[in-house]
């Protein structure tokens, strides 16, 4: 959650900071602010609302500062307001801080500081940290030492950047559980919570580890632990360019990312699928191949859309590999004392690789000596670095808050893992080749579905005023029903629920009347006839049926009011196709209702707080 950017160098800091905030706004958009040092003075500007509101505040003002920090907020402690917006100051007004995360012991720290005469003006935990740094600065007269000492007193998570007129040519940043990246330019440095704020200026970055801080000045940088031990960091090259985080002519990032899926599916497979042998080669799993051969049980964990991908993974692995699989909400996994045995493997799925609950689940599993694998999108992310092995999905930056291309790429990677494990066990070469051919054909089949966008837009117009939706699917497509309902909820604010089709009669059928659209995922497979029976149950109660069906299925037209066709594929691959119309349906309904598709209310892209 939230976006941080800091700059020190020769450029106009305000320009760099505002550019960075606009790149980071998908991480939080309740309020925005920045602090700069100009002519020895600390100047802070902040405003409730999106970054554009902050830009209005700055219009007509001339700045020449070359150092500053900035923040775009997703509110945790304290409602969205000008006062609660970051940056926050210490009591002297000479130290400014921007912060992502949650200070869990802020109340006791605040009470201690109040007892010593310190004042507070906001309702945030971040201001407590700012005042605490000021308190220690008064004692040690050294900004770096004041920040370091304050962080040793803090319980919770943080990614932060600190600026002070006491040492006006220095930025100090640190992290624990919330990502921070340092961009290394020519005579300039940029610190940010996300590479998207950096790549306009440099592709060379270092990733701070947990409990690590960096000190930046005009000429160089150095890193150390919060325990004051110097560290060395590997310089990485960010592998995407600016065009990847721009809309490229699309009205919204979400629509762009939906239409990128033919390419992102290809990218997820590139160099990994050996069709003529019916196998998958996943270099990221080489260190654990022996453990994969001996695995007795797999536990998949994730949140939201990644959890839905894990549910599909459960069907894939159990069907192809005959390995028992459990799928856990990461937010529950760490708190229920999970039982992990010697030959169990935990797979953590996260687009950002920074999801707080999923990262905590990884740490819990590792503490119990489990082998932990990661399926993530962001190279260098915390989950990628803390797992024993893993597979990148190579979906590229996903800016839209509602995940689309990351989901289908996660499904592709889970299918490749299932193929790899299956061939290591009892899956025949003939079957492996059949699956590999099916995977290879997916991008072209997704392109055919995207050609139906105008048809789906018409359906959206017809149903946009419905206040409830029901999504139903069976087998591999039950998780897709959950994902379709989630997409609609996220961006249109229409209540929607996903269920297994057969569960409808065990409660949800009571909701069905002439005002209830019911979306059935009904590809031609071994349980098609049972889904048709479920559709008839809805029709007999006057429900309005929208069906996702296999091309050339004429039968479905006798039962469904609206039909969206997908190309034929193997049953195990259908989720990668059936979810595309549901993404488009949610998108077009939200657009019709005038919703902010890329920045839905109360949501942010990467949930880095519990």
- The single residue of 2, 269, 321, 595 carrying the catalytic annotation is 2
- Angle formed at CA 195 by CA 191 and CA 199, multiple of 5 degrees: 95
Nearest to 584 by CA among 558, 555, 552, 546: 546
Contact predicate 400/258, CB 8 Å: no
**C-alpha to C-alpha distance for 73 and 488, rounded to whole angstroms:** 24
304 half-sphere exposure, CB direction, 13 A CA radius: 23
The 8-class DSSP code of residue 310 comes to: H
Report residue 205 as tokens.
């970055």
- Residue 61: active-site member: no
Provide φ and ψ at 495, rounded to 5°: -70, 130
Euclidean distance between CA atoms 292 and 389, whole angstroms: 11
Choose among 262, 175, 157: nearest CA to 212: 175
Using the Cα atoms of residue 572, residue 475, residue 372 and residue 174 in order, give the sign of their dihedral.
Answer: positive
CB under 8 Å to 478, separation ≥6 — which residues?
311, 498, 499, 500, 501
Please give the Cα distance from 602 to 340 (Å, whole number): 35
Contact predicate 305/490, CB 8 Å: no
Per-position b or e across 360-386, b if 16+ CB within 10 A of its CB: bbbbbbbeeebbbbbbbbbbbbbbbeb
Cα separation of 409 and 390, whole Å? 14
Tell me which residue of 451, 355, 404 sits closest to 597, measured CA to CA: 404
- Beta-carbon neighbour count of residue 176 at 10 Å? 21
**Surface-to-core class of residue 607, CB atoms within 10 Å of its CB (0-12 exposed, 13-18 middle, 19+ buried):** buried
| Cα gap 28→60, rounded to integer Å | 26
User: Cα–Cα distance between 151 and 126 in angstroms, integer?
Assistant: 12
The CA distance from 188 to 55, in Å, is 24
- 2 carries an active-site annotation: yes
Cα–Cα dist 142/280, whole Å = 55
Residues 471 and 519 sit within 8 Å (Cβ to Cβ): yes
- Which of 290, 310, 295, 294 is CA-nearest to residue 374? 310
Query: Residue 312: helix, strand or coil by DSSP?
Result: helix
Contact 45, 200 (CB under 8 A): no
Q: Of 50, 170, 445, 605, which is the active-site residue? A: 605
Q: Which residues are catalytically annotated?
A: 2, 605
């Amino acid at each position: 959650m939230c976006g941080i950017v800091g700059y020190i160098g020769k450029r106009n800091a305000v320009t760099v900071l505002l550019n960075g905030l606009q790149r980071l706004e998908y991480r939080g958009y309740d309020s925005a602010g920045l602090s700069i040092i100009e002519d020895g003075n600390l100047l802070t500007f902040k405003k409730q609302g999106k970054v554009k509101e902050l830009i209005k505040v700055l219009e007509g003002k001339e700045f020449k500062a070359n150092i500053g920090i900035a923040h775009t907020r997703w509110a945790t402690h304290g409602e969205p307001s000008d006062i609660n917006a970051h940056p926050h100051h210490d009591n002297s007004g000479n130290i400014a801080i921007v912060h992502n995360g949650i200070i869990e012991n802020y109340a006791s720290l605040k009470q201690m500081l109040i007892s010593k005469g310190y004042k507070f003006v906001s309702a945030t935990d971040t201001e407590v940290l700012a005042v605490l740094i000021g308190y220690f600065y008064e004692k040690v007269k050294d900004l770096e030492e004041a920040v370091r000492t304050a962080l040793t007193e803090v319980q919770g998570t943080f990614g932060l950047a600190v600026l002070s007129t006491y040492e006006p040519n220095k930025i100090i940043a640190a992290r624990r559980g919330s990502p921070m990246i340092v961009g290394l330019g020519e005579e300039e440095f940029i610190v940010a919570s996300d590479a998207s704020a950096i790549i306009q200026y440099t592709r060379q970055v270092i990733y701070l580890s947990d409990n690590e801080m960096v000190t930046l000045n005009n000429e160089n940088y150095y890193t150390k632990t919060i325990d004051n031990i110097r560290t060395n960091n590997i310089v990485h090259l960010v592998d995407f360019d600016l065009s990847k985080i721009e809309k490229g002519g699309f009205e919204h990032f979400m629509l762009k990312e939906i239409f990128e899926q033919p390419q992102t599916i290809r990218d997820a497979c590139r160099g990994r699928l050996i069709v003529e042998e019916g196998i998958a080669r996943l270099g990221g799993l080489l260190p654990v191949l022996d453990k994969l051969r001996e695995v007795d049980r797999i536990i998949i964990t994730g949140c939201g859309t990644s959890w839905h991908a894990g549910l599909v993974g459960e069907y894939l692995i159990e069907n192809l590999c005959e390995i028992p699989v459990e799928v856990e909400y990461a937010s529950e996994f760490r708190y229920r004392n999970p039982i992990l045995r010697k030959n169990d493997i935990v797979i953590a799925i996260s687009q950002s690789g920074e999801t707080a609950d999923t990262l905590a689940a990884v740490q819990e599993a590792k503490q119990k000596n489990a082998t932990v694998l990661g399926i993530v999108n962001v190279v260098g992310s915390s989950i990628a670095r803390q797992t024993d092995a893993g597979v990148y999905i190579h979906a590229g930056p996903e800016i839209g808050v509602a995940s689309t291309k990351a989901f289908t790429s996660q499904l592709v990677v889970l299918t490749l893992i299932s193929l790899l494990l299956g061939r290591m066990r009892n899956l025949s070469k003939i079957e492996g080749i059949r699956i590999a051919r099916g995977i290879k054909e997916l991008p072209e089949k997704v392109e055919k579905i995207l050609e139906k966008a105008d048809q789906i837009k018409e359906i959206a117009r017809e149903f946009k005023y419905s206040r409830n939706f029901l999504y139903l699917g069976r087998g591999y497509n039950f998780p897709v029903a959950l994902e379709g309902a989630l997409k609609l909820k996220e961006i249109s604010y229409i209540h929607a629920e996903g269920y297994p089709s057969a569960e409808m009669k065990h409660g949800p059928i009571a909701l069905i009347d002439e005002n209830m659209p019911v979306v059935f995922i009904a590809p031609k497979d071994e349980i098609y006839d049972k889904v048709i029976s479920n559709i008839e149950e809805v029709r007999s109660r006057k429900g309005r049926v929208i069906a996702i069906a296999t091309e050339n299925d004429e039968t479905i037209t006798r039962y469904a009011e609206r039909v969206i066709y997908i190309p034929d594929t193997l049953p195990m691959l259908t989720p990668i196709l059936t979810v595309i119309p549901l993404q488009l349906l949610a998108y077009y309904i939200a657009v019709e209702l005038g919703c902010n598709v890329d920045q839905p209310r109360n949501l942010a892209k990467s949930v880095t707080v519990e």
